[in-house]
A and B are shown apart, each in its own frame.
Chain A
Amino acid sequence: MDWLSFTLITTLIKIVGLCFVAILGLVSYTVYAERRVSAIIQDRVGPNRVGLPLTLLGFKKDVSFLGLFQPLADGIKFILKEDFTPAHVKKFYFWLAPALCLVPALLTCAVLPFGSSITIPWNGSERTIPLVIANLNVGPLFVFAIASLGVYGIVLAGWSSNSKYPFFGSVRSTSQMISYEISLGLSLVPVLLVMGELNLVTISQQQSEHGWNLLPYSLRDGFDLNRWLLLIPLGLAFVTFVIAMFAETNRLPFDLPECETELVGGYHTEYSSMKFALFFMGEYAAMIVGSGITVTLFLGGWSLPLGLDNYLPKGTVWVGLLHTAVFFSKLIAFLIFFIWVRWTLPRFRYDQLMRLGWIWMFEICLANVLLTAGILWYIS
């Protein structure tokens, strides 16, 4: 088999493995985690029953596995429910909107480096597979560009429903996403200034050799005062980036587009069964990809802390798999943080949200860019 077909097949495996198995699998289990963690925070039990229904086969008891089969049951429920389309909607756009919501969220994971690289013998020669779907030189920009397409799904959902509450929800969501997109982009500029790089693979590689952006210490390089000085703007960038990302993914405390007490259910009020599930999955997929970007840019991506990767053999299969495991465990830890915040903070009022976005976040991000440039200039 020649080089081209080899690359095609490995890329296909990566796409199927990451997009459909890893991300969609994570989506369903994030929903489960959301329910379990919220239950723990509110001192409840949560969904802990669904397991193997052995009683159907004549056994005395079911095996519940802490309710780990709950996502499966939810999925079956969504598919089997009646797919109801109200009479007053604009049909074409009504059907288009859920797809437009989920697809961009899944597309963005193409540039996420989820591991270092694996070298395997093939036809008598060694071949290296980088563990990323597309190694682009415009990584973060690609993510922002594609993620900004997700807003069309929400706008169209609200508009095509021909009903006032969904429309309010989508209007809120659009203005919120446009406002916070600016802070999101600007808060990244310090990281890019420090790394001097737009390629997410190279950014992960550098962090694995010289320590993470938020933990700038590696055993090989030793202590470097300059990098700890740069931690001030980088820490600020991390905080602003995470806040802006919460707003972009419409998560609490910024979930005004779907706040139930004011808007019934938000932009997806008129949707049912699998079409509603697509919105739901789109939201969680955006959350997962957002966490992935945060992990890659600030928390070292797939790398071990303290530059431990320098002492591991490069490119072997086991190290590659270890890095993938490290990446996903960081991702899951960050998702739990997402959930934790949701069940801890109350929701903003709409004017507070806009004031925070335009008066605080935007200015802090701008000042942070200047601060980073100043520190870099002082160091050099």
Chain B
Amino acid sequence: MLLFGVGVVVNRNPVASALCLVVSFVGLASLFISLDAHFLGIIQILVYTGAVMVLFLFIIMLLDLKEEARRALNAWAVAGGAVVALCLVGTLLHVLGTFPKGEATLPPLVVPEGQTYEDTKALGTLLFTEYVFHVQVIGLLLLGATVGVVALSKKEASK
């Protein structure tokens, strides 16, 4: 997964780096699934790999970015990227080092004998009872974004 994550950045061909991102998403989903979070893993594949990345790939192919692959490396851009990445790693190390709660392992999930743990049901119940307000707010936000996109593209067309 990490290897393909590096591949996303290193590859000069936009299609190759998009495909690397796809494989990296599949790796992330398999991590979720190996942690018994089946629902999350499957949704990761369904939404990101199956829908978002297909559209990405589609757009990249339609634009046919040939000069992107030929452009020379800009040393300043590489240095800037490295600095940002190093800063992020530093912050992460600092936060993880000073977060004592994170060191304790979670108690193992107790599942009654002869039953399987239904993460989908548990997640659904939580989302639609305790966090129903948050879900609604996110839904409204996404609706706003959709309306915005439609409005913007309409303006372009009328010109």
The digit string for B37-61, where 1 denotes a CB below 8 A from any CB of A, is 0110011011001110011011001
Other-chain contact of B42, A93, A142, A151 (Cβ < 8 Å): A142
Interface size on B, residues (CB 8 A): 22
B45 to chain A, nearest CB (A): 4
A286 to chain B, nearest CB (A): 14
The reply to whether the CB of B1 lies closer than 8 angstroms to some CB of chain A is no
Is A155 located at the chain interface by the 8 A CB criterion?
A: yes
Shortest CB distance B115–A (Å)? 11
Is the Cβ of A138 less than 8 Å from the Cβ of B51?
no
Chain A, 162-199, contact with B by CB distance < 8 Å: what is the 0/1 string? 00000100010011001001000000000000000010
**B42 and A145: CB pair below 8 A?**
yes
Residues of A with C-beta under 8 A to B54: 148, 151-152, 155, 174, 178
Q: In the complex the two chains form, is B42's CB within 8 Å of A138's CB?
A: yes
**A145 and B50 form a contact (CB under 8 A):** yes
Interface of B (DSSP majority class): helix
The answer to whether A152 and B57 touch across the interface, beta carbons within 8 angstroms, is yes
B20 in contact (CB, < 8 A): no
Say yes or no for A146: interface residue by CB 8 A criterion: yes
**Which of the listed residues B55, B57, B61 has the most CB atoms from chain A within 10 Å of its own CB?**
B61
Question: A-facing mask of B89-124, CB < 8 A → 1, else 0?
Answer: 000000000000000000000000000101110000
| B22 to chain A: closest residue by CB | A152
Contact A144 B120 (CB under 8 A): no
What is the CA–CA distance of A191 and B95 in the complex, to the nearest angstrom?
46
Does A141 count as interface, using CB distance less than 8 angstroms? yes
> Which residue of B15, B38, B55, B62 contacts A138 across the interface (Cβ within 8 Å)?
B38
Query: Pick the contact of B38 from A93, A136, A144, A149 — CB < 8 Å?
Result: A136
Most buried by A among B42, B43, B119, B120: B42
> Would A137 and B50 count as touching, CB distance under 8 A?
no
Give, as a whole number of angstroms, the nearest-CB distance from B31 to chain A.
15
- SS class, residues of chain A in contact with chain B: helix
Looking at the assembled complex, report how far the CB atom of B38 sits from the nearest CB atom of chain A, in whole angstroms.
5
Q: Which A residues from 118 to 170 make CB contacts under 8 A with B?
A: 136-138, 141-142, 144-146, 148-149, 151-152, 155, 159, 167
Chain B residues near A141 (CB-CB < 8 A): 39, 42-43, 46
In the bound complex, residues from chain B placing their C-beta under 8 Å from that of A174 are 54, 58
Whether A149 contacts B45 by the Cβ 8 Å rule is yes
A148 touches which of B19, B39, B46 (Cβ 8 Å): B46
Which A residue's beta carbon lies closest to that of B49?
A149
Minimum C-beta distance from A324 to chain B (A): 24
| A159 in contact with B45 given A148-B54, A178-B51, A181-B51 (CB within 8 Å) | no
Complex CA distance for A174 and B51, rounded to whole angstroms? 10
Min CB distance, A22 to chain B, in Å?
A: 24
- Residues of chain A with a CB closer than 8 A to B51's CB: 148, 178, 181
Cβ contacts under 8 Å, A171 to chain B: 58, 62
B58 touches A148 (CB 8 A): no
B residues within 8 A CB of A145? 42-43, 45-46, 49-50
Contact, CB under 8 Å: B46 / A155: no
Residues of B contacting A151 with CB < 8 Å? 50, 54
Output the least CB separation between A124 and chain B (Å).
22
Q: Which chain A positions have C-beta within 8 A of B118?
A: 137
CB nearest neighbor in A for B58:
A174
Task: Identify 5 new A-B residue pairs, CB closer than 8 A, beyond the known A137-B39, A151-B54.
Answer: A137-B116, A144-B46, A145-B42, A149-B49, A155-B54
Closest 8 A/B residue pairs (Cβ)? A148-B50, A145-B46, A145-B45, A141-B42, A138-B42, A145-B42, A159-B61, A138-B38
